[in-house]
Amino acid sequence: MRMRPNILTIAGFDPSGGAGYTSDIKTIEALKGYGLAVCTANTIQNDVTFKTCYWVDIEVIKDQISLLFDRFEITYVKIGIVQNWSVLDQIIDFLLKKNATIKIVLDPVLRSSSDFEFHTSSSLIANELLDSILDKIYLLTPNFIEIEKLFPNKTIEQTIAHISRKTNLFLKGGHREEAVGKDELYTVQGMHYVFNPKEKNLSEKHGSGCILSSAITTYLALGFPLLKACYRGKRYTEKLLKSNKSLLAYHR
């Protein structure tokens, strides 16, 4: 029997199970990977309300990562909410120290689906670490709201061009003003691909961005090339968006 690939998610804990590493683990396991998790934040939330977030100390995060790498072979990592760009940069450097060839998928969660802000615009403008971070990851998966905040002094077109010179970019279309649900992949090789929605009767889901990014990471770990991993990740996410009418997806 073929062994499942180990996929590490570094993300927050959501008690509702809709987002964060609990959602990531559900996705990874459903797609035939084995999910490992490191907690970056303990959140006080459900699927409609986000009250606050208690950040995990960076040294605790490193200790969690280190012990997992002592035991498991890990070649793909998905990262969700992290306290700030400095902590994120430290986590990425630590991962690369453990495995210099590791591929990192970063879902830059800047706010929750219930509008809790994890980072302020001023901190994003002031932070000079983002370019360094982009050079070290394999794929960035922002939505339209997030990409506008990453480089607020640039237009979206300029931001896309800037990011895709450094890393692969999967731009999620759930928050588009037009053509809602149209996702786009921009590769460092200069290729551009469009993923139009196929499913109908979709309903909004808490944590859909977590599901998509962890699904793409899992498909990459299973050996699919980037384009196919993104295509399959989107299709899996669409199936969950139509799994029921509530804000919480049913994984199959």
pLDDT digits (tens, 9 = 90+) for 102-135: 999 999 987 655 455 555 444 444 457 899 999 9
Scan for tokens 């306290």, then name that residue.
Answer: 83
Nearby residues of 249 by Cβ (< 8 Å), 6 or more positions away: 18, 23, 205, 207, 208, 211, 240, 241, 243
What is the Cα Rg of the chain in Å? 17
- Helical axes 208-221 vs 226-241, angle rounded to 10°: 140
pTM of the predicted model as reported, rounded to 2 decimal places: 0.93
Mean pLDDT within 56-66: 98
Nearby residues of 229 by Cβ (< 8 Å), 6 or more positions away: 216, 219, 220
Percent of the chain at pLDDT exceeding 90: 72
Are residues 124 and 149 in contact, defined by beta-carbon separation less than 8 angstroms?
yes
pLDDT band at 202 (very low <50, low <70, confident <90, very high): confident
